[in-house]
Structure 1
Amino acid sequence: MTKKITNHEDWSILLALAKAGDNVAQYEVASHYDYGLAAGDIEIVGQNKPKAFEWYYKAYKNGNADAIVLTADFLSEGIYCDQNIELAIELYKTAIDNGSGIAANNLAVLFRDKMDYKKAFELYKVAQNLDNSNSLKLALCYYFGMGTEKSIKNAFEIFLRISKDTSELRNCQYEIDEANYFLGQIYIDGGVVERSIHKASYHLKLADLDNDHRSAQELLVLLGRNI
């Protein structure tokens, strides 16, 4: 990482480094164009997605590993550049070979959108293994039988790990809420676990801690909130 950008002079220095071929500087220039950069009330870099792609692409071509996935993301979407699915897939695969779980997940989404659910499922598994994480998408594939044989048991185990994980690498709150919601459903249905209205209510209440999960609320009304 180069020097922190706090003013226009810093930005000019970083831009000069990037133009001279420094791939780290190129990646950072791309990132600043991607999200914009301000110091207090002063805008240093305005958000410019097409320029972000140009610099991510330069950084990738110049050997910056961090730029590979982001270049692929732009190419797969084709919003701020010409779409190139074949190159995007090639870049995702390169990043996966380098150990990127994010690349595996993003490539899975690409195949999902192609309705190739089997490939998407396999890539969700790769992403989970590479990141040593708990994938909500993988759990949902098992739950609904998308791209794999339906297995409520496998889905339950992943949902439960997501619900219990308190580490810094835990899932985002949305995914935790969804995992608790599906745990609630599984405890209501029984089958792979002993049916338990109390455990169902517990997880549904966790899903609705912020009072914003309508589906959990409906099931809690059905069960009774006093449980």
Structure 2
Amino acid sequence: MDEQQFERFVQEVAPLESVTYWLTQFEQAKSKQIQAMINVALLYKQHKNYDEMYALLDEATLMEDPYAFYELANCYFESLGNRGNEQLAFELYERAALLDHADAMNNLADMYFNGEGTEVDERKAFEWFTKAAHVGVAEAKYTLGIMYEQGIGTEQSDEFALQHYEQSAIEGYAEAMYRMGMIYFTGELGQKQNTVHAFDWFLKAAEQFHVDAIFNVAYCYEMGEGTTQNEENAIHYYKQASMLGDYEASNKLAGIYELRKSEQANKWRKKAIEQFNNEEM
């Protein structure tokens, strides 16, 4: 794509006030400024111009830039432009990870863990998740929690599992927040049951739209577990969970309205059936 073609492209896809910025980025990309090359490639990606995206990222990887390796790996992993190639994605994540790209370390670990683009290797997965965790990837800390809890790729340790779940949760990873809630709700990993702590963690995860956490917040309000019983709050959170597709939440709402002898009970029962059938398809 030459400069005139790019200008027409940008005028079609970008806000008017950003056209000058993107033309400057294009010129910088032509002069091999790596960040501009990646920025323009990501603009192509956003607007599904995959041929130009691949060409520019391929060129950027010749400069041994970890971000270029990482972004190109994402494209092959996501099969953008019908060019899915897990083995190539694995190789590119590895090159980025060896250049200390944190998210590439985590993705490389995932591929070892799941056997994507390579053979399953739980030990290497554990090693790369550990490296990613050390540079601050909250998702990696959560996965290490799973591995310590189940003894995957390392010795089983409830203590280390709890430490990693908690670190990940404190750093804002919703799945870890939910897991911490379940640990306290059921009394797992050597912890005493504490429904107050459980409710607090469920609420934090719910704020990030974690559907199971939203359901559990509703349940806690309905039953008075870890918080003051409040049926209206329970209804509010069950409705949120239902909007996110949780048929059990719709069933709960039907039950509450049936006890109130409300006509809304039938509405929620039908919704629960529809959601269940959609989930089974």
**TM-score of the superposed pair, with normalisation by structure 1:** 0.77
Contact 1:76 1:110 in 2 (8 A): no
In 2, the alpha carbon distance for the partners of 1:59 and 1:26 equals: 5
Could you tell me which residue of structure 2 aligns to residue 71 of structure 1? 108
- 1:196 aligned to 2:230? yes
1:162-198 CA-to-partner distances (Å, cap 9, x unmatched) read: 44x3xxxxx2x3x1x3223212322333353333333
CA RMSD in angstroms comes to 2.8
Secondary structure, in 3 states, of the residue corresponding to 2:227? coil
Could you tell me which residue of structure 2 aligns to residue 208 of structure 1? 242
| Aligned residue type for 1:199 | N
| Aligned residue type for 1:137 | R
- 1:156 aligned to 2:190? no
Cα 1:125–1:181 shift into 2, 3 Å: same
Identity of aligned residues (%): 20
Offset of 1:77 from its aligned partner?
A: 1.7
1:165-184 matches, cutoff 5 A: 165=207, 171=208, 173=209, 175=210, 177-184=211-218
Cα 1:12–1:214 shift into 2, 3 Å: closer
Contact 1:159 1:180 in 2 (8 A): yes
Contact 1:33 1:46 in 2 (8 A): yes
In 1, the alpha carbon distance for the partners of 2:236 and 2:54 equals: 51
Unaligned 5+ runs, structure 2: 1-34, 263-281
Structure with the largest fraction of helix? 2
Contact 1:201 1:220 in 2 (8 A): yes
Could you tell me which residue of structure 1 aligns to residue 163 of structure 2? 122
In 2, the alpha carbon distance for the partners of 1:75 and 1:36 equals: 19
Is the radius of gyration larger for structure 1 or structure 2? 2
Cα 1:198–1:61 shift into 2, 3 Å: closer
In 1, the alpha carbon distance for the partners of 2:236 and 2:102 equals: 44
Offset of 1:88 from its aligned partner?
A: 1.9
Offset of 1:216 from its aligned partner?
A: 2.0
In 2, the alpha carbon distance for the partners of 1:117 and 1:188 equals: 35
| Aligned residue type for 1:125 | E
Cα 1:54–1:222 shift into 2, 3 Å: same
Offset of 1:27 from its aligned partner?
A: 1.7
- 1:28 aligned to 2:28? no
Contact 2:138 2:171 in 1 (8 A): yes
| Aligned residue type for 2:192 | E
Could you tell me which residue of structure 2 aligns to residue 186 of structure 1? 220
Cα 1:46–1:186 shift into 2, 3 Å: same
In 2, the alpha carbon distance for the partners of 1:214 and 1:7 equals: 38
Could you tell me which residue of structure 1 aligns to residue 85 of structure 2? 48
Could you tell me which residue of structure 2 aligns to residue 143 of structure 1? 185
Relative contact order: is structure 1 or structure 2 higher (C-alpha 8 Å, sep ≥ 6)?
Answer: 1
- 1:218 aligned to 2:251? yes
Offset of 1:46 from its aligned partner?
A: 0.4
Offset of 1:13 from its aligned partner?
A: 4.5
Secondary structure, in 3 states, of the residue corresponding to 2:133? helix
Unaligned 5+ runs, structure 1: 38-42, 166-170
Could you tell me which residue of structure 1 aligns to residue 145 of structure 2? 108
Offset of 1:220 from its aligned partner?
A: 2.5
Aligned length: 211
In 1, the alpha carbon distance for the partners of 2:117 and 2:101 equals: 21
Contact 2:139 2:173 in 1 (8 A): no
In 1, the alpha carbon distance for the partners of 2:117 and 2:236 equals: 45
Secondary structure, in 3 states, of the residue corresponding to 1:82? coil
Offset of 1:53 from its aligned partner?
A: 0.5
Contact 1:112 1:120 in 2 (8 A): yes
Cα 1:68–1:12 shift into 2, 3 Å: same
Offset of 1:155 from its aligned partner?
A: 0.9
